[in-house]
Structure 1
Amino acid sequence: MREKLMSMLEEREEEIIQIRRYLHENPELSFEEEKTAKFVADFYKDKDVDIQTNVGNGYGIIVTIKGDKPGKTIGLRADFDALPIVEETSVPFKSKKLGVMHACGHDGHTAYLLVLADCLIQLKAELSGVIKIIHQHAEEVPPGGAKSIVESGVLDDLDEVYGIHLLPMGPAGLIGYHAGFSFNGRAYMKLKIQGRGGHGSSPHLANDAIVAGAHFVTVVQTIISRRLNPFDVGVITIGSFDGKGTFNVIKDSVELEGDIRYMTDETKETIEKEMRRLVKGLEEEFDVTCELTYTPDYPPLYNNPELTAQVVKTLKNANDPHIKEVKEFPPLAPSEDFAYYAEKFPACFFYIACSPVDIETPFFNHHPKFDIDEAALLVAAKAVGQVVCSTQK
């Protein structure tokens, strides 16, 4: 089965590329992926599979492939939403929708998984167990699609789940992995500081919300430098400070928004507790009132160490000319809602390097000039195919 599957994927490499280019030209934002979902569902029409559409809180699709032999039930996941970015690449299949772009590689994720799934359908007679193909909507925008798909119960019978991400961190043929906590969790904060406005000449008659906000911007970083273990990962970024006013008027109120990242649940709890404590202190010190909105969304992504070790062994022993190197990557700072699958099921989420060959310093995911070496698409398909074969009896 392994030899057949690898051969089938090689023969359909151009099809994978063309699907990716079609999706790249026709991106849709999170929770708006109606046409993308229809394209995906139509791909499976008249194939011997069960299809569930509109799964979760959006356009999620679950395709169930039942093998003719008993075995595990595994999940394979790819996301299909795009980002609100104006594309600045020069590729001939550039986005046709101004201000929307596949700048994170989800077009490639969907393309490889569609063709891999179709090949597995054709090999059902040799397949042990059940494979659930998870075409997921809305990875980019909290609450995301993964959490709602997990909560729907359609995956409750999974024994394990796998996913990949295209990353420009090396040439096509390189595969990265990391066991344990591998992607940061994330939270959103918004702080409204209500002071008492006044004349710029008489600050003693007012309570300056800008001064209180500026103090908070500085002191909140002491959570990272003085409240976390130096070996723990934590980031607090205040990305918005809405304090525009008039030069001689003391602001009555300001609003701040921030992004919080953490690699463990313990760090998550520490940051939230300390931020709430600092906000209370701000009210007392500056005689202002504060309204804090603090919303954790994606949890840290935890790769099951045993499952990851098995994936690494499989890929290193694949003896495949397209899989040239398998090496450990460090934990990564972004967040990824695959973490919700990994919270419930043994999971492995690994990385397919895709740096374009003609760019010395490639643009990273979410950049308007993000692009990939399309040779990485076959690497993704074959790598996940190898993992599927390793689960067979």
Structure 2
Amino acid sequence: MSRCVYIAGTADTKGDELSYIRDIVATEGLVAQIVDLSTSPHAMSVDIAAADVAGHHPGGPSAVFTGDRGSAVSAMADAFVRFITKRDDVAGLIGIGGSGGTALIAPGMRALPIGTPKLMVSTVASGQVAGYVGPSDICMMYSVTDLAGLNRISRTILANAARAIAGMAKSVIFHEEDRAAIGLTMFGVTTRCVSQVVTGLSSGYDCLVFHATGTGGQSMEKLADSGLLCGVIDVTTTEVCDLLMGGIFPASDDRFGAIARTGVPYVGSCGALDMINFGPQNTVPDHYAGRQLYRHNPQVTLMRTTREENARMGIWIGERLNRCNGPVRLLIPEKGVSALDVLGQPFHDPEADAALFDAIENTVVVTPHRRVQRLPYAINDPEFAAALIHHFHEVVKEV
């Protein structure tokens, strides 16, 4: 089957731009098709009609073409996710749109595997785009002018975009690796641990390290969902702190979801669960007045978690691990969960840690394949890194 570059947008308002991109992609020797995501009638000629896309919605086209723009666009976005992920010929996906069009197309892009070329030409690309890109590898290109017809600027921008997606589609390479890939999570205060684990495993595994800043954990789990990881060593689960307590690097509520869905071998720990991340000190919410703070750098202020917060996190993590039916080990570093949580450091608080550890142990339902183990080490001790490696080899053998 010939692979195809799909060009997504609302042909009722951006038909000329979509055709312009299609024609340029075609001149690059690629099959190109316009996917119409309009929710109102029009006479523009397209390759894949909006009704065909809407037919992929669980409720059928009638669930999309409701006459109410808000619900129609939301339903079309859902339909497009299902449409594009059922295609087995996607060489690349390019979309164009304003804020609404970007929100309509981006979920479909995020649903595609990492490595599939994705380019979004958008009027909002010069602003905050985390909500659109998420954990995916979407390329965002600012349209400069509004996407309201072709002009001397838009022609240049769209031509560049068309040739960019064509170039990516023609040259996409998935490097062959003899080593299977594993995902690891790291923060500055757990770097020493993760570095030791990578050193110990890199001869046999391609070690992919993700910065635990919210998106990092989501990216790692997206790779697990995509079947690109043979295992996970989740040293640094700190994103849970920010999710539950309102920090700036939060996990999504689906943290650990990919582990549950895929059954991928999993070894986790409590890395940096002693801290919630905020911006400069004056950005710490007023309701946290009087709490123990640590100035990590001018842009990041850390706040020590309390016994109550740790107990809450332990229950949250434990409940999600209970959903995982693949091989799971959670290793508890009794002498400190970060570089700041060891004896003599500002976040050292054995009582707060004990509340976390007890909550995890009391919540996790132990089975032959799901176990929790306490170890008399700090997270960055060589012995703890060695234990992570040992247990990883164990869980890999269980699948």
State the TM-score bracket (shorter-chain normalisation): under 0.3
Relative to the length of structure 1, the TM-score reads 0.23
Structure number with the higher strand fraction is 1
Higher relative contact order (CA 8 A, sep 6+): 1
